[in-house]
């Protein structure tokens, strides 16, 4: 009985209640989301599904399992946080040393330390990005900034906490400045130093994670313009494009890729009326073709959910597309905020995707500082789902698939119609980029 009473009044019970409560609430909402069928996938998976995904062998990105993808992402985040933490620790310690050595340095630097600490991470991120021009560098710099403040202030407090009697004792031994610091001040401030590290370590990781959520930005027009440049070149040089695709790991012969490249070029450079499409207009959206596809989708796509049915019935072309990203001016639009992006293909490397492979092989993406990962597709991979859940940034799909996905609530957006006489388009998540 005594043990039961102790357990009922222990912190363990509080922890257990909180954990169980969170699990119960999570599962309740997971069942609610599942019952409403507001999207083609469960946007709030059950806990057992999350745990099971770690042990699943299925590929979520065309190349990696869920465990591999999370492990890779965690490694990248921890590496950036670690670099920022190390840089911030060194800078913070040196600054504290300089402030203790010189009252002038302290009066100049300390107010700015306080000012930087008051700026929210989310407000600091775009400022640092504008200065560095690179999102990965920005993550490291922000982690360093959040690290060096606790280290600097705690180390400075440690220096100042040393009793005056110890100073006088060292002077009585004729110790110089270097000896005073190495024998007395630095050893005495070690507990304060580790206190600063304890505070700053989680802040560095938090900063890196939060900045990871700000990956969207002005990379859409940049990515799109270079991809269409690749398509224009591929359609003019089909033999070379076929060789590039074949070298990328094609599942069919080089001769067949060459034949396919020629046929694909016709679909890209000729509209529904048989008119030629110039290189400058590759990727433009044919109003007639798109409206025809939307009308057929409304007629033949069968949806069980009533809300999805209503959304499909009232859907307009402007609900699924935008022409605002077809042009990109580096001087006007600036460098891409996200320099590493991924494109999920509909199928394995083939000439039907040759524009992306050509853009990568010819260095078009490199010209604007983009690192593009072209992810092969397959029968078990949904490109719309991959874009929606953030596994990839862009996806190549059919307009009918896009319409079906948006009727279910995915809110994807077509940004280019590469094929003028079919529904193969490039899509991305509507709220992910701004320009």
Based on the domain organization, do 175 and 48 belong to the same domain? no
| Vertex 86: Cα angle to 85 and 89 (nearest 5) | 80
pLDDT of the residue at 217? 43
- Out of 195, 212, 229, pick the residue that ends a domain: 212
pLDDT of the residue at 423? 53
Based on the domain organization, do 276 and 401 belong to the same domain? yes
Query: Which tokens sit at 95?
Result: 């600054």
Q: Please, what are the averages of pLDDT over each run of 10 residues along the chain (435 residues)?
A: 66 83 89 63 71 72 66 81 90 89 85 79 73 75 86 88 81 81 84 89 81 54 78 89 85 81 85 76 77 85 83 86 72 66 85 89 83 81 81 85 84 82 56 51
Residues found in the chain: 435
Which pTM value belongs to this model?
Answer: 0.53
Based on the domain organization, do 104 and 199 belong to the same domain? yes
- Has residue 48 been placed in a domain? yes
Query: Which tokens sit at 61?
Result: 């990105």
| Vertex 318: Cα angle to 315 and 322 (nearest 5) | 140
Based on the domain organization, do 98 and 136 belong to the same domain? yes
- State the helix-helix crossing angle for 103-118 and 135-160, rounded to 10 degrees: 130
- Phi, psi (rounded to 5 degrees) for 161: -80, -10
- Out of 193, 212, 231, pick the residue that ends a domain: 212
Based on the domain organization, do 200 and 231 belong to the same domain? no
Alpha carbons 221 and 202: distance in angstroms, whole number: 35
Based on the domain organization, do 186 and 47 belong to the same domain? no
- Has residue 59 been placed in a domain? no
Instruction: Report the CATH number at residue 279.
Output: 3.40.190
Instruction: Report the CATH number at residue 79.
Output: 1.10.3720.10
pLDDT of the residue at 38? 46
- Has residue 287 been placed in a domain? yes
- Has residue 61 been placed in a domain? no
pLDDT of the residue at 345? 87
- Has residue 392 been placed in a domain? yes
Based on the domain organization, do 200 and 237 belong to the same domain? no
Based on the domain organization, do 108 and 32 belong to the same domain? no
Based on the domain organization, do 311 and 402 belong to the same domain? yes
- Out of 191, 212, 233, pick the residue that ends a domain: 212
- Has residue 150 been placed in a domain? yes
- Phi, psi (rounded to 5 degrees) for 249: 115, 40
Based on the domain organization, do 380 and 253 belong to the same domain? yes
Do 434 and 217 touch, CB atoms closer than 8 A?
Answer: yes
- Has residue 291 been placed in a domain? yes
Do 343 and 372 touch, CB atoms closer than 8 A?
Answer: yes
- Phi, psi (rounded to 5 degrees) for 13: -65, -40
Based on the domain organization, do 34 and 167 belong to the same domain? no
Looking at the 3D structure of the chain, how many domains does it have? 3
CA distances from 215 to 135, 168, 383, 410, 434 (A): 8, 55, 20, 19, 11
- Domain range enclosing 251: 220-429
201-226 per-residue burial string, b: 16 or more CB within 10 A, e: under 16: bebbbebbbbbeebbbbbbbbbbbbb
In sequence order, the β-bridge partners of residue 341 are 372
R_g of the chain computed on alpha carbons: 29
Do 429 and 388 touch, CB atoms closer than 8 A?
Answer: yes
Based on the domain organization, do 261 and 404 belong to the same domain? yes
């Amino acid at each position: 009985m005594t043990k039961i009473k102790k357990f009922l009044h222990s912190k363990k019970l509080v922890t257990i209640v909180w954990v169980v409560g969170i699990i119960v609430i999570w599962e309740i909402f997971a069942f609610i989301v599942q019952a409403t069928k507001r999207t083609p996938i469960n946007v709030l998976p059950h806990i057992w599904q999350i745990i099971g995904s770690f042990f699943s062998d299925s590929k979520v990105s065309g190349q990696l399992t869920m465990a591999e993808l999370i492990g890779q992402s965690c490694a990248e985040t921890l590496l950036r946080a670690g670099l920022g933490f190390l840089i911030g620790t060194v800078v913070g310690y040196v600054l504290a040393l300089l402030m203790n050595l010189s009252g002038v340095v302290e009066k100049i630097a300390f107010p700015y330390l306080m000012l930087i600490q008051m700026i929210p991470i989310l407000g600091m991120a775009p400022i640092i990005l504008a200065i560095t021009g690179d999102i990965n560098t920005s993550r490291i710099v922000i982690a360093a900034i959040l690290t060096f403040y606790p280290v600097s202030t705690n180390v400075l407090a440690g220096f100042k906490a040393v009793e005056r009697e110890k100073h006088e004792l060292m002077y009585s031994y004729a110790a110089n400045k270097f000896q005073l610091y190495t024998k007395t001040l630095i050893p005495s401030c070690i507990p304060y130093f580790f206190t600063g590290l304890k505070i700053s370590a989680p802040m560095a990781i938090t900063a890196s994670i939060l900045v990871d959520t700000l990956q969207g930005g002005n990379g859409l027009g940049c990515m799109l313009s270079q991809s269409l440049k690749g398509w224009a070149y591929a359609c003019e040089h089909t033999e070379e494009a076929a060789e590039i695709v074949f070298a990328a790991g094609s599942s069919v012969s080089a001769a067949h890729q060459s034949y396919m490249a020629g046929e694909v070029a016709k679909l890209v450079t000729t509209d529904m009326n048989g008119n030629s499409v110039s290189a400058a207009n590759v990727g433009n959206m044919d109003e007639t073709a798109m409206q025809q596809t939307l009308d057929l989708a409304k007629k033949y796509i069968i949806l069980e959910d009533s809300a999805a049915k209503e959304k499909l019935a009232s859907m307009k072309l402007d609900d699924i597309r935008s022409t605002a990203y077809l042009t990109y001016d580096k001087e006007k639009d600036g460098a891409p905020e996200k320099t590493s992006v991924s494109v999920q293909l509909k199928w394995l490397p083939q000439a039907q995707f040759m524009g992306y492979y050509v853009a990568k092989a010819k260095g078009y993406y490199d010209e604007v500082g983009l690192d593009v990962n072209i992810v092969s597709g397959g029968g078990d991979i949904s490109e719309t789902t991959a874009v929606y859940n953030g596994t990839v940034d862009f996806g190549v799909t059919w307009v009918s698939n896009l319409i079906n996905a948006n009727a279910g609530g995915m809110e994807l957006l077509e940004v280019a119609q590469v094929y003028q006489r079919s529904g193969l388009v490039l899509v991305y998540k509507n709220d992910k980029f701004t320009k």
